[in-house]
């Protein structure tokens, strides 16, 4: 039986980061991936294909607005051309995640399904067994398919299958208003589909700051048919279309028709079939593997990173957890994961950026805080671009330390990065006003927001009186 310093189960973002990092430190590493090529859901079915689709959709949408300048367009979307572009993006990035690349790093890559035999033994397809001092579970998650009458019989799409469409849907129903649901719903709407988004809650962007959620939803309402407080009760196939029966929380019902229905109602962890009981690893009632701040399960030599641990379901979070595990599992350190400084972005247009606490969360814990907010119509570059829908909002404590930051705007995921750095480095909001931006620049929105902090300090309270007295003496 071959022994390793570290065995990694799963070749997604978290697993690949852990395997590469451990190998670079000289550890003997095994990587087990059930698919033919590593990369995980993000590369093959999630982040990469969805962002490639969003880019095409936004290009086409903006091309349509050229009519304002006397241009015209004609024709219809060709799904095969879109699929070609998506596949090209995947294949280009796949080179960085390929088996060959990891083997060159010194990682032993096994293709097959790994499961526990004991707390330090893993069987691959129940044929080959290997042994590891430490084991990292990075098996990710998959779409959660709810029990809906007629759904399986009528057929449905998930984020794993929607990119296989060969014919563009003229009507699309999307069940679920989370990040996957809203991103794909807007993309298909901009490509020309009549999209109905079905959400069981009373609003979209449920985890976002209320100001951001309200604005982003109001903009989406111009492009999508939104149904709130609603669930899909039944799906029936009628010739080439689906009849979808919705049930509302007030007891009323409605039927809508679509060519396809996309199920985006959440994710379930890929923890089943791992035979975790043989290793004694505990999960919660959803199947999420419980971990401590060091990413350790209840078995100290077994770690879990990424979607499977139920923390934050984002690729960059999985990668950060993978980096932490290398330090703890390979070097024996006791570093803890810090989610307080972990940002995320919902890639609708405009983008919705999130960092730290929301204003509602601060109110709920009765925190004393300050709000600094700048609408994008006060930022010259956004005015020049005619993209003024949005704002930057930074929340601080009394001393100016950043508690949360939120933004809605084109490219918000990019121009808000200096705020992430400031919060991670425990810098005050005032430090952001010292950053020099080339004019005109989108990130000036952050600078203008931070400038309001100094205006508050300089023109309120005792400081203005002291300055006035000083200037009179200086003269």
The annotated binding site for FAD is made up of 51, 114, 139-141, 307
Helix residue ranges per DSSP H, 25-96? 40-44, 47-64, 79-94
Tell me if 159 sits within 8 A of 184, measured CB to CB: yes
Question: For residue 107, what are its two tokens?
Answer: 């990682």
Q: List, in sequence order, every beta strand (DSSP E) within 52-112.
A: 108-111
Binding residues for NAD(+), as ranges, are: 176-183, 199, 266
Tell me if 322 sits within 8 A of 295, measured CB to CB: no
| CA angle at 471 for the pair 467 and 474, rounded to the nearest 5° | 135
Question: Rounded CA gap, 43 and 154, in Å?
Answer: 28
CA dihedral 64, 65, 68, 72 (to 10 degrees): -10
Pairing of strands 128-137, 121-124: antiparallel
Binding residues, as ranges, are: 51, 114, 139-141, 176-183, 199, 266, 307
Local structure of residue 438 (DSSP, 8 states): P
Tell me if 18 sits within 8 A of 138, measured CB to CB: yes
Exposed e or buried b per residue across 328-347, where buried means at least 16 C-beta atoms within 10 angstroms of its C-beta: bbbeeeeeebeeebbbbbbb
Name the phi and psi angles at 111, rounded to 5.
-100, 120
């Amino acid at each position: 039986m071959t022994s390793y310093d570290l065995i990694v189960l799963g070749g997604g973002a978290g697993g690949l980061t852990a395997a590469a990092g451990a190998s670079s430190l000289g550890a003997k590493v095994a990587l087990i991936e059930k698919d033919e090529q590593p990369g995980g859901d993000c590369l093959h079915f999630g982040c990469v294909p969805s962002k490639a689709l969003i880019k095409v959709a936004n290009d086409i949408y903006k091309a349509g607005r050229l009519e304002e300048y006397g241009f015209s367009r004609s024709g219809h979307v060709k799904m095969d051309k879109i699929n070609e572009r998506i596949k090209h993006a995947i294949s280009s990035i796949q080179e960085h995640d390929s088996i060959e690349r990891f083997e060159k790093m010194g990682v032993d890559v096994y293709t097959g399904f790994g499961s526990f035999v004991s707390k330090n033994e893993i069987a691959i397809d129940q044929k080959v067994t290997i042994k590891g001092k430490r084991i990292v579970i990075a098996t990710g998650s998959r779409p959660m398919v709810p029990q809906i009458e007629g759904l399986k019989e009528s057929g449905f799409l998930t984020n794993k299958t929607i990119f296989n469409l060969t014919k563009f849907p003229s009507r699309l129903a999307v069940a679920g208003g989370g990040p996957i649901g809203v991103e794909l719903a807007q993309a298909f709407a901009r490509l020309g589909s009549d999209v109905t988004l079905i959400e069981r809650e009373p609003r979209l962007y449920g985890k976002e700051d209320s100001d951001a959620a309200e604005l982003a939803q109001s903009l989406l309402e111009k492009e999508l048919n939104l149904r709130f407080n609603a669930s899909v009760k039944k799906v029936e196939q009628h010739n080439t279309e689906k009849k979808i029966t919705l049930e509302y929380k007030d007891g009323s019902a409605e039927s809508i028709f679509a060519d396809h229905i996309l199920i985006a109602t959440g994710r379930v962890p890929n923890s089943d079939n791992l035979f975790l009981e043989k290793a004694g690893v505990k999960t919660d009632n959803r199947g999420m593997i419980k971990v401590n701040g060091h990413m350790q399960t209840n078995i100290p030599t077994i770690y879990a990173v990424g979607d499977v641990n139920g923390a934050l379901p984002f690729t960059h979070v999985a990668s950060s957890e993978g980096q932490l595990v290398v330090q703890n599992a390979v070097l024996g350190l006791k570093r803890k994961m810090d989610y307080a400084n972990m940002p995320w972005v919902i890639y609708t247009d405009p983008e919705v950026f999130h960092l730290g606490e929301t204003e509602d969360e601060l109110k709920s814990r009765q925190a004393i805080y300050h709000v600094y907010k700048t609408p994008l119509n006060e930022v010259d570059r956004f005015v020049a671009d005619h993209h003024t829908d949005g704002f930057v909002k930074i929340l601080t404590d009394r001393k100016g330390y950043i508690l949360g930051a939120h933004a809605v705007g084109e490219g918000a995921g990019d121009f808000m990065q200096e705020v992430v750095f400031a919060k991670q480095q425990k810098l005050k909001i005032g430090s952001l006003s010292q950053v020099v931006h080339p004019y005109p620049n989108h990130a000036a929105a952050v600078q203008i927001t931070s400038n309001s902090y100094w205006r508050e300090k300089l023109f309120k309270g005792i400081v203005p009186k002291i300055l006035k007295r000083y200037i009179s003496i200086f003269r």
